[in-house]
Homo-oligomer: A and B are copies of this chain.
């Protein structure tokens, strides 16, 4: 196993960082790594906001559901889907690109582009011995996050990425059995075998929590999912993204 794959496989989210800011060089390396990711038709439909201002970080932490590690870290990045630049280009080049910018296809492209870039940033950071945590919590209130970061239309914050020197190391969390996620040639829709895979996974996850909480917790993954998905979370999203000029047609 090479170093890169070792870095990838030992990933765990870090939620406690030393009080030490990333250097400009580290930030540069992380952003350059993000930019090196593949991009659909060369569109590069994303932007990254690095948040340094302590007042803004504090506010972001509150918006994300009082997650302290949004404020206390080495650096905080916000990854955004971005077609603002492209709208400007349409003006300058006198091209009718609005239907395209507003399509669900380009919404998907921007999300995929931003996420590929973010994962490069995450891996680059981890390869330098830094810890990372994705912060979906910023999607609790994207209107306020957009205002805080001065985002124009056709830009949507997708998630944060907290980076810093780990204060502690948590355990790697087990993933679904490979066979539950990876199919060959055809999707396996057989309910019995799906159930069998998830039952097996539930046992793994129960044991995982049990061992780490001295028996206090032993949730099954499927029960976690049912509970989490029963919450009708962030149902404002459709209206919000359309208002910002995405996913409209």
Tell me the A residues contacting B by CB distance below 8 Å: 1-5, 7-11, 13, 28-29, 31-38, 40-44, 46-53, 56, 84-86, 88-90, 92-93, 95-97, 99-101, 103-106, 108-109, 111-112, 115-116, 118-120, 122-124, 127-128, 132-134, 136, 139, 149-152, 155, 158-159, 172-173, 175-176, 178, 180-187, 189, 191, 194-195, 198, 221-235, 237-238, 241, 247, 249
Contacts and interface: CB of A to CB of B under 8 A. Distances in A.
A interface SS class: helix
Contact of A112 (B10, B32, B159): B159
B115 A119 contact: yes
A155 B230 CA distance: 20
A169 to B, nearest CB: 15
A185 B77 CA distance: 10
Contact of A11 (B36, B95, B195): B36
A10 B97 CA distance: 32
A103 B238 contact: yes
A189 B128 CA distance: 32
Contacts of A118: 116
Contacts of A175: 35-36, 44
Number of copies: 2
Nearest to A115: B115
Contacts of A134: 38, 40, 116
A117 to B, nearest CB: 8
A127 B5 contact: yes
Contact of A184 (B32, B49, B194): B49
B235 A99 contact: yes
Given A97-B229, A136-B109, A249-B238, A35 B89 contact: no
Q: Which of A2, A119, A237, A247 has the most CB of B within 10 A?
A: A119
A189 B99 CA distance: 22
30 contacts: A5-B128, A10-B36, A38-B119, A40-B136, A40-B159, A41-B136, A42-B224, A44-B181, A49-B182, A49-B183, A49-B187, A84-B189, A86-B225, A88-B191, A89-B198, A89-B226, A90-B229, A92-B195, A95-B230, A99-B232, A104-B247, A106-B229, A111-B111, A115-B115, A116-B119, A116-B134, A119-B120, A149-B183, A151-B187, A155-B187
